[in-house]
């Protein structure tokens, strides 16, 4: 296989973007990525776009063809990728494999979701389809409810506290406040989280990621050609994906995501690295308990110690390991199809030394972890400065 590099990236602002449309967002992100890579559109061979539910959110299907059309990329091969909240990272994996295999030389990977044009209840139904519609959503189990079950069990087995989960939100809002692209631009306190409205006990509104609009894009090409376009290429040194049962009741455990553990194991083996080698990571914190389980399942901390590590500041910016420097899904926002690509854009900026205001000191290795649904899909990518 060929070695693969990211040579450009870009994203739109994340947030409740009432005056922006679906195609506006992805065109902005894609144009920024192409310009960052010093490319012309006619040099691109293929497009992979991560989008979860455009049909429900904006009544638009055939999304990849729309993006290729409005970005002036016809007649290239354009493919939509859907894997719930992991759509963006699975699109990145498809782009990576296309370049690594030699099938294509220059690939654009995009992720986009416009979620605020429908009511909150309609958005909840669309997102609920990422779980088992028949046995969970139809029975009234929303995603906050599913993650609340995980949180309750984690608290029971390991003594994790609501305050420890709340510290995830406090940290990620602090990082988001330093990120001009983030949905939330304001820091919050532990008291703010603890006093916020209960959504599904023990999860409160500040434990939950928001409904967000946004888009992100990357340009991939073989590493040996990257230097013609940039002197700050970032190499993708591992890409791994795994699956698990879609419904919680079929899982072996409520306190870990098996798909994360398997994908992480494969990724670390591919990169010939260990968890201690990672300097900065973007992990899937759709709820605060999700970040605690992620940092345990990825091997950064022992099972059951994620809450304590967070409370002690070990995951803060420039600490033992910098987790979610962008603000994560919780602070930067979670336009579901775009999230996996945004994570990689943030790691690219970190490894380039271009994450102004939130820069990790001299990072060499970064990781992204993106989950679909409540854990049925997981993608892990590892990156290094080229």
pLDDT tens digit string along 1-11? 999 999 999 99
CB burial of 36-50 (b: ≥16 within 10 Å; e: otherwise) equals bbebeeeebbbbbbb
Residue 255's pLDDT band (cuts 50, 70, 90): very high
Lowest mean pLDDT among 54-68, 132-146, 279-293: 132-146
pLDDT of 41 over the 80 cut: no
Question: For residue 385, what pLDDT band results from cuts at 50, 70 and 90?
Answer: very high
Q: Are 289 and 151 in contact (CB under 8 A)?
A: yes
The top-level CATH class assigned to 120-209+237-385 is: alpha beta
Catalytic residues: 85, 334
Is residue 50 within 8 Å of 88, Cβ to Cβ? yes
Taking phi over 0 as left and psi of -120 to 50 as alpha, with beta for the rest, 366 belongs to: beta
- Domain ranges in the chain are 4-117+212-235, 120-209+237-385
Return the pLDDT at 121: 85
Chain CA centroid to CA 18, Å? 22
Write out the CATH class of domain 4-117+212-235: alpha beta
**Which H or E element spans position 340?**
helix 339-352
**Phi, psi torsion values for 58, nearest 5 degrees:** -135, 15
pTM score > 0.85 for this model?
A: yes
**At residue 40, does pLDDT exceed 90?**
no
pLDDT at position 133: 86
């Amino acid at each position: 296989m060929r070695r693969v590099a990211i040579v450009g990236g870009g994203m739109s602002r994340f947030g409740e973007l009432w005056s922006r449309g679906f195609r506006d967002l992805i065109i902005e992100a894609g144009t920024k990525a192409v310009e960052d890579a010093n490319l012309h559109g006619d040099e691109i061979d293929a497009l992979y776009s991560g989008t979860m539910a455009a049909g429900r959110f904006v009544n638009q299907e055939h999304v990849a063809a729309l993006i290729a059309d409005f970005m002036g990329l016809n007649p290239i091969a354009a493919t939509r990728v859907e894997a719930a909240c992991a759509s963006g990272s699975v699109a990145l994996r498809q782009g990576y494999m296309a370049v690594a295999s030699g099938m294509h030389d220059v690939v654009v990977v995009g992720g986009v979701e416009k979620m605020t044009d429908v009511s909150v209840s309609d958005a909840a139904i669309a997102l609920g389809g990422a779980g088992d519609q028949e046995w969970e959503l139809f029975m009234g189990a929303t995603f906050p409810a599913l993650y609340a079950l995980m949180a309750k069990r984690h608290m029971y087995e390991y003594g994790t506290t609501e305050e420890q989960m709340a510290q995830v939100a406090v940290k990620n809002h602090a990082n988001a406040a330093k990120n001009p692209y983030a949905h939330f631009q304001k820091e919050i306190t532990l008291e703010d989280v603890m006093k916020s409205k209960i959504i599904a006990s023990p999860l409160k509104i500040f434990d939950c990621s928001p409904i967000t609009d946004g888009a992100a894009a990357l340009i991939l090409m073989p590493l040996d050609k990257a230097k013609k376009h940039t002197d700050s290429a970032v190499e993708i040194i591992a890409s791994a994906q795994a699956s698990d049962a879609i419904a919680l009741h079929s899982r072996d455990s409520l306190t870990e995501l098996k798909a994360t553990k398997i994908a992480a194991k494969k990724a670390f083996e591919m990169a010939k690295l260990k968890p201690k080698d990672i300097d900065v990571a973007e992990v899937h914190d759709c709820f605060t308990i999700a970040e605690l389980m992620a940092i345990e399942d990825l091997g950064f901390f022992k099972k059951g110690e994620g809450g304590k590590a967070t409370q002690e500041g070990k995951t803060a910016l420039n600490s033992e390991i910098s987790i979610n420097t962008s603000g994560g899904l919780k602070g930067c926002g979670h336009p579901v199809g775009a999230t996996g690509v945004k994570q990689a854009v943030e790691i690219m900026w970190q490894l380039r030394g271009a994450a102004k205001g939130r820069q990790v000191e001299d990072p060499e290795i970064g990781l992204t972890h993106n989950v679909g649904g409540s854990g049925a899909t997981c993608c892990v990518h590892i990156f290094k400065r080229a």
